[in-house]
Amino acid sequence: MITDAMRAEMRDLADRYPSSRSALLPMLHMVQSSDDQVTQEGIAACAEVLGITEAEVTAVATFYTMYKFSPVGKHHIGVCINTLCGLLGGDAVYAKVAERLGATHNGPSADGNFWLERIECQAACTHAPVMTVDWEFMDDVTPQSAVDIIDRLAAGEEVWSTRGPKIRDFQATERTLGLASDELATEGNCVDEKMLAGLIVARQQAREQRGSDNS
């Protein structure tokens, strides 16, 4: 339900941009944080606040796959199956997760608590194969470790992403994507040796080059 308080937050969000229409993407995340999906009420609220038509809002919401028109449930599960993840086992991870959830691509689990999606790229090839939970990274997964993560979430256990904060739930993450007003960027390990490997090699080569130039 889009409350008066949320409408006020939407207006504040629109005021942050030179062109208020630029607030539409985060505003749609706010709608999902409230309604667990993009609803007609949410579309109407966005249109009203931004002074555009509901058709214009719908066109944007249907273009981007991150916006859903059915209830997502407690957690969104994304499994990357693009080239590198696929070669390193992403397809096997997806198959095992789909079996565990009783779900198909872009659809809910049998119990409605999870939403499964095949992702074309998670922009995290260093740690392939990658799965995300509510858009937080679960790196270097295997079919079994991916299922273990889902089992722990289903049991209500505490689960931390491998490069980021503790997993909350889909609606909480959507609120963060809408307002970006929390301090979660400082939680967890944001980078590791794998991600820094190229930088380390480049610095070593630069030192060697400087040494050669000075000799």
Would you say residue 215 has pLDDT above 70? no
**pLDDT of res. 188:** 75
Tens digit of each residue's pLDDT (9 = 90 or more) over 133-143: 999 999 999 99
pTM: 0.87
Q: Are 136 and 153 in contact (CB under 8 A)?
A: no
pLDDT at 214: 74
Q: What is the mean pLDDT of residues 144-170?
A: 96
pLDDT tens for 5-55 read: 999 999 999 999 999 999 999 999 999 999 999 999 999 999 999 999 999
What values do phi and psi take at 165, rounded to 5?
-80, 180
CA neighbours closer than 13 Å in the CB half-sphere of residue 42: 22
Q: Which domains does the chain have, with CATH numbers?
A: 4-63 (1.10.10), 75-170 (3.40.30.10)
